[in-house]
Amino acid sequence: MARPTWKSWHLLTLVSIFARGALAAPTAAPTGPSAIPTGPQYTIIDDYSDQWKFSDGWGTYGRSEDNYCAPNACLVQPDRTKAHAATWSEASAAGASATLSFNGTGVSIYLVCPGKIPLPDGGVAIFSGEFSFAIDGVDAGSWSIIDNAGCENYVYSARVFERAGLATSSHTFTITNGGSGASDLLLDFAVVDTGAGTTTTSPPATTTTTSSEPNTTGKC
C-alpha cells in the first residue's frame, strides 16, 4: 500500500525491556542527532514521499494538527518542528515494514528515537528499537538497543543504517520492525547518494609533437 491515511490510535503500555536474543548485538542508544551528508550528490527523501511504500500497521503524523497523535492516544509525542518536514511514520507492530525505491550508489536512514515517558502510575515507558534491513531484497544487517537502553530524551535525525558503494542503478531499501513487542519505529527520512556529484579522474592526454627537422638517424 502506498501511503497510510488512517491514524494509529494505540496506547502503548508494554514498554519496559527487550527480550534476549535481539537481532543484533546491542547498540548504544543515540544521544544526539547524527551528521547528515550535504552536497550536490545527496537527496533527502522524507517519509511522506511516494518513494516509500508501507505495509499495514503504520500511521503518519505531524504534518498538521489534524494528523498529530493526541496525548491520550499515543504515548510517543515527538516535537514535529524538529522532525524533517514536520512528519514521521510510526509502527509498533512486529513485522511492519517500509520500502524505499531509489536510484543511487548509497543510502542512509534516519529515525526519531523516543525518549523515556512518565506514566500515570509512576512508572516509565521506555521505547527502544529492534530493526532489520534489506537492500534489493538481500539481508543488510540489523540494529537494536535493549535492556532499558532507550533514549533518555527524544533524539531527532538518529542514523540507524548506512550503505555506500552500490552499483549506480535503481535499488530498494526495506526496514522492518522487530518482533520483541517493545520496539517502536519512528521513520523520519532517508538520504540517498545519487552519485551526481562524483567525478572520475582521467589520465593526462598524450601530446604528440611533430618536428620539421629531417630525420637523420633513420629512427621513427
How do residues 40-53 score in pLDDT, each as one tens digit? 999 999 999 999 99
Mean pLDDT of the chain: 75
Of 156, 153, 130, 152, the residue nearest 143 (C-alpha): 130
Place of cell 518482533: 179
pLDDT for residue 12 is more than 60: no
pLDDT at 9: 28
All cell numbers assigned to 127: 521505547
Domains and CATH numbers, the chain: 42-193 (2.60.120.260)
Q: Are 144 and 128 in contact (CB under 8 A)?
A: yes
pLDDT for residue 215 is more than 50: no
Place of cell 500511521: 59
pLDDT at 127: 75
Mean pLDDT along residues 22-46: 77
Phi, psi (degrees; rounded to nearest 5) at 65? -60, -25
DSSP 3-state assignment of 195? Answer: coil
